[in-house]
């Protein structure tokens, strides 16, 4: 069984791909198989045209508060590079690609990923925080679908679209550094039902 990963930018999609091919007798599909990994979730009509019965669909997600901070540092928005110069509050509410704003993009994409996860015969949702904290637990979950290559191996390097480096990703990636006002803006835009479905909690700005 091969793997197709979907997830937003800065959610460890590259690291998961390296981790899975390191530990399992599998290959990861790329652009030619259902397109860009950061896209909206394909419709059932679309994914049923391909070899879906022999595919493990892996969906990655990250705490939405640390995710927006990572996106602000590097939005990968080549159509409007000036966004990287905006104040953070303006960045949060500015149109991005074909979405109303960054948080509405998160809502739409993860609503679609959750729908697809419920539809496909073989699916795995991985929170980036869980992957950082306990790769063996992720390995054990993936083992229900994939044939192991041998003994479990951790993947502790930094993986991006340009390759792999010795830099590691640890606890800093899971620390929030937002102000009360920024939490208020995020909470006003993000869908709380999706947040809860993904196993996260909204932050009460008054307690910051």
The residues, ordered by sequence, that sit 6+ positions from 206 with a Cβ below 8 Å of its Cβ are 180
CB atoms within 10 A of CB 87: 8
Give pLDDT, residue 162.
Answer: 46
Closest CA to 98 of 79, 71, 112: 79
pLDDT tens sequence for the chain (208 residues): 999 999 999 999 999 999 999 999 999 999 999 999 999 999 999 999 999 999 999 999 999 999 999 999 988 876 777 887 899 999 999 999 999 999 999 999 999 999 999 999 999 999 999 999 999 999 999 999 999 999 999 998 666 654 555 555 556 677 898 999 999 999 999 999 999 999 999 999 999 8
Helix%, strand%, coil% for the chain, nearest 5: 45, 15, 40
Strands 55-61 and 123-127: parallel
Instruction: Output the pLDDT for position 175.
Output: 84
Q: Which two tokens stand for residue 155?
A: 């993947």
**What confidence score (pLDDT) does residue 161 get?**
57
User: What pLDDT is stored for residue 32 in this prediction?
Assistant: 96
DSSP-derived pairing of the beta strands 158-160 and 163-165:
antiparallel
37 closest CA partner among 68, 9, 64, 15:
9
Q: What is 38-95 written as a DSSP string? A: TSPPPPHHHHTTS-GGGEEEEEEE--HHHHHHHHHH----TT-GGGGGS-HHHHHHS-
Q: Report helix, strand or coil for 165.
A: strand
- Residue 208 is predicted with a pLDDT of 87
The pTM of the full predicted model, rounded to 2 decimals, is 0.93
In this structure, what token pair is assigned to residue 1?
A: 């069984």
Contacting residues for 68 by C-beta, under 8 A, at least 6 apart: 92, 102, 103, 186
């Amino acid at each position: 069984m091969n793997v197709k990963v979907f997830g937003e930018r800065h959610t460890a999609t590259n690291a998961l791909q390296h981790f899975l091919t390191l530990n399992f007798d599998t290959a990861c599909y790329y652009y030619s198989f259902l397109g860009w990994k950061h896209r909206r979730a394909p419709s059932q009509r679309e994914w049923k045209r391909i070899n879906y019965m022999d595919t493990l669909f892996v969906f990655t997600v990250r705490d939405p508060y640390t995710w927006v901070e990572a996106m602000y540092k590097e939005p990968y928005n080549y159509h409007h590079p000036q966004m990287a110069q905006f104040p953070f509050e303006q960045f949060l509410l500015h149109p991005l690609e074909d979405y109303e704003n960054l948080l509405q993009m998160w809502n739409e994409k993860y609503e679609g990923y959750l729908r697809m996860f419920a539809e496909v015969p073989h699916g795995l949702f991985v929170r980036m925080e869980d992957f950082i904290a306990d790769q063996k637990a992720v390995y054990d979950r993936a083992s229900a679908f994939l044939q192991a290559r041998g003994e479990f191996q951790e993947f502790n390097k930094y993986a991006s679209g340009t390759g792999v480096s010795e830099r590691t990703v640890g606890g800093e990636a899971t620390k929030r550094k937002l102000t009360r006002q920024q939490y208020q803006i995020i909470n006003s835009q993000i869908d709380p039902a999706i947040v809860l479905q993904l196993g996260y909690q909204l932050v009460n700005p008054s307690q910051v």
